[in-house]
Structures are given as C-alpha cells and as structure tokens.
Structure 1
Amino acid sequence: MTLLRALDRFHAGRPWDHNARFHPWILRRLPPRVGSALDVGCGSGDLARLLAARAGRVDAVDADPAITARARELTPPAVPVTYLVADAPAGLPERSYDVITCVAVLHHLPFTEALEAFRDRLAPGGTLVVVGVSRERTPVDHLLGIVSIPLNIVMALLKNRGRRAARPVSMTAPNRPPGMTFPEVAREARALLPGARLRRHLFWRHTLVWRNDRPPLQHPAT
C-alpha cells in the first residue's frame, strides 16, 4: 500500500495523457480522407481536431458541458468540428459516419447499447476504432499491468521532462472502474460486430477495430 500511495503521489505531480498516446495509432487505422467522423466522449477535442484533418465533417459528443465548451475554445473556426453536449448512446446524432472513434469512454456506457449504436451509425465501408479499459483478472492482464508500471514512470518523466505539469483536461468524467474483463469485452463485441479485432495493450488499455463490410441498403425502385 505504501508503494501504491507513493506511485499515486508521483503521477499526481507528473501526469501524462495515456489516451492521447493512442491517437497516432488510431489515425493509422483510418483512410487518408473520409467524408464524416464521429468522436464519442470527445473531452477537450484533441482527437476530434486530428480527425478534422482527414474528414470533411466531424461531430464530437461529450456529456460534460464545461469540457465541451473548452473544446470549442481550443478549436479554430476553420476546423470543421461540431461539438454536441449529449449522453451516449441515446443522444448520438441520427446519421451515418465513415469513421467512429471512442477513447476510454465505453466502460462508462451501457456496453451492448453503445456498440449497437456505433454499428448502426457506421456507414458501409466505414471504420470503428475503440480504445477501452477493462477489469484486470487474467494472468496476461496482471503481467501487462506489472510491465506498465515502470514504463508509466519513464513516460511521465519524459513527458514532463523533470518539471511539474498541469493535469490533462482531455476528460472530466469520474474515474469509474471498469466492470468487464477483456475476455468478456471481446466475447460480447465479436457477437455484436462479427470480424472485430481486439487486442490488449500496455498502459491498461485495449483496442477494438471493426470495419463495416455490410453492403449499402438497396431501396426499391419507384
């Protein structure tokens, strides 16, 4: 317990954004240009602004009005991002997107309903990318967690370069512990999204990538 308290004090003074580390990884899974993108749980809009460099339109949704207002302040007027204050999945826009992203938010949402909403809004040929957090239970989970501790310290030192930094403001949601294990996440996700690719990562994260290979709906001729 003493060690854990010491680590907490260390990271409180030298925070770094674990989620932003995955932004380049996310972009590598996406086409160079897309028509539209949806970022669910956008926080201060860092990923939404990166998506705007590839998409003609980006809708960014967060349930927190204060952090959404901050995202608007940080986004230049010429950047095509529309920020919406809404609860996911019920409040998501009723339209289709070529890209949907969701970073470290899914464990705060009703899992099945959220993935169904993402699936139903993803256009044919579109890509869904989720960075998630799961409850540690298996030996692999614990091994990755142990390996992540010293790497996390190194990253904190590199990111802050020996100086104290302000806590990242990309998210303001309460730090709710995840309820599902990675095997549970993988099993339920693959049932809802056939062909979804999931893998564990360091720094207490996992990823899900799914491409919608369903053909477009064929409307009867009139």
Structure 2
Amino acid sequence: MGILTSRALRALERFNSAYPWDHNAHYHRWILRQLPRRFGRALDVGSGSGDLARLLAGRAAAVKGIDADPVITARARELTPAGLPVTFTVADATADFPDETYDVITCVATVHHLPFTSSLTRFRRHLAPGGTLVIVGLARPRTPVDHFLGAVAVPANAAVGWLKNKGRRSPRPVSMTAPTRPEDMSYDDIVREARAVLPGARMRRRLFWRYTLVWRQG
C-alpha cells in the first residue's frame, strides 16, 4: 500500500479499529471448497483461536491444530465444543512438527513466520498420497500489480468491515489478537520457491493482501 499517503493510512487504521474483521477467516469457506467432502486426518499449522480447525472437523475424522502461542492455543481449547474431533497443541512448526501424515494440511497467515522453503518441504513430506495442502499467505508488495491490488483492497476492506459489523463499532475478533510480523518475501519470490518444491502448485494473488497456494500430493 505504498501509494497511499500517511494521512490516508492513519484514517484507514482508525476505521479498521472501529469496524474490524478477520481477513484470514474470509478465506475459510474458500479453503473448504478445495477439499474433499470427507477425509481422514487434518493438520492446521498456526491454528490460532481454532476457527478453521473447527470447520475442518465437520469433514475430518480427526484434526490437529498447532500454534507456537500458548495463550491463543488455550483460548482455542476453550472455544471448542466437547466431542468435536479436534486437539490443539502448543508447538513450533519448525522444531516440533507432528511426526504423522495427513490427508489435509492447512496453513493460514503463518508460513511467512517460518523458513519458507524448508516448511514447504516439511508439509510435502507429511502429506499422505492424494492429500491436499492449502496455504493462504502474505507477500511483501513490490511490483505495480501488487500495489494496484493493495489500493483496490483499501475501499473493499472498509466496505466489508462496515457490512460485517452492520455499521456498528465492534471489538477485535479473538482470531485477530495473536502477534504478527511483517512478510519479507515478494509474491514472485514465493511462486519461484514454491514451484521448485511443489511442482504444479496452483497459486494466485488475492484481495486483502493475501495469496493462495493449493497443491495435491501425487
């Protein structure tokens, strides 16, 4: 969003604080459309407050969510109804990755916190034959296309925030309270490295400062 003035950015930040919405949860239904109607085990990397993991549990035999933040992981457990086949574990995805294979692996707004290429390699290694990997990630804007999409997203972001909150000021969703850090790879860099590790991966720039990656294990 480098083409915006600092004054415009401050105004946008004030508006978003008053009418917040979760940009990552916006893609959860899209993620479900990339997956089979039923599958066995699923892993959600960077599970946060557990919203996506609970959605996956509607289709999976078992879901494991891992997150490095013990506070948000405890909150995920509190928000999960008894009997739902979901477990949440405090784990560093670079050092404590579960030693199992999964039919589905999801990773939303998390991979930019991790070593990118080695993380994709680890996801591929733990994906069962025929399994699906879905990533929603963030990229650093560098090209004119990146900045154009960022500019288009600004009014759309405000409109969605207003509509989702029905024009009323609201507190930030639980899923938006976890710590974040800026992304450091451009979209072109991400595409190049991803396709070297995951040949045939389907990738696309998205609105609201996100990209998506879908890959199926042969």
Q: Check whether TM > 0.5.
A: yes
1:136 is aligned, of 136, 141, 144, to 141
2:157 is the alignment partner of 1:146 = no
Within the candidate set 175, 180, 185, 1:175 is matched to: 180
- Equivalenced residues, count: 213
The answer as to whether partners of 1:67 and 1:171 remain within 8 angstroms in 2 is no
After superposition, give the CA deviation of every residue in 1:70-117 in whole Å (9 maximum; x if it has no partner).
101111111000111011132111000000000001101111121111
Tell me, in whole angstroms, the C-alpha distance in 2 between the residues paired with 1:171 and 1:17.
6
Partner of 2:81: 76
- Which residue type is aligned with residue 70 of structure 1? R
Identify which of 60, 64, 74 aligns with 1:59.
Answer: 64
Work out the CA distance in 1 between the residues paired with 2:41 and 2:177.
26
Asked if the contact 1:38–1:99 (Cα under 8 Å) also holds between the matched residues in 2, the reply is yes
Task: Specify which of 96, 118, 126 is matched with residue 123 of structure 2.
Answer: 118
CA RMSD of aligned residues (A): 0.9
Deviation at 1:173, TM superposition (A): 3.9
- Asked whether 1:28 is paired with 2:33, we answer yes
Q: Which of 55, 64, 80 is matched with 1:50 structurally?
A: 55
> Unpaired segments of 5 or more residues in structure 2?
1-5
**Alignment match, 1:199:** 204
**Which sits farther off after the overlay, 36-45 or 167-176?**
167-176
TM-score (norm 1): 0.94
Query: What amino acid does structure 2 have at the position aligned with 1:79?
Result: L
CA distance, structure 1, for counterparts of residue 176 and residue 59 of structure 2: 23
Q: Aligned partners of 2:138, 2:212: CA distance in 1, in Å? A: 9
State the identity as a percent.
Answer: 65
The correspondence for 2:99, drawn from 83, 88, 94, is 94
Matched, 1:4 2:9: yes
Kindly provide the amino acid, as one letter, of the partner of residue 27 in structure 2: F
Task: Please list every run of at least 4 consecutive aligned residues from structure 1 whose deviation after the TM superposition is greater than 3 angstroms.
Answer: none
Q: 1:25 corresponds to which letter in structure 2?
A: W
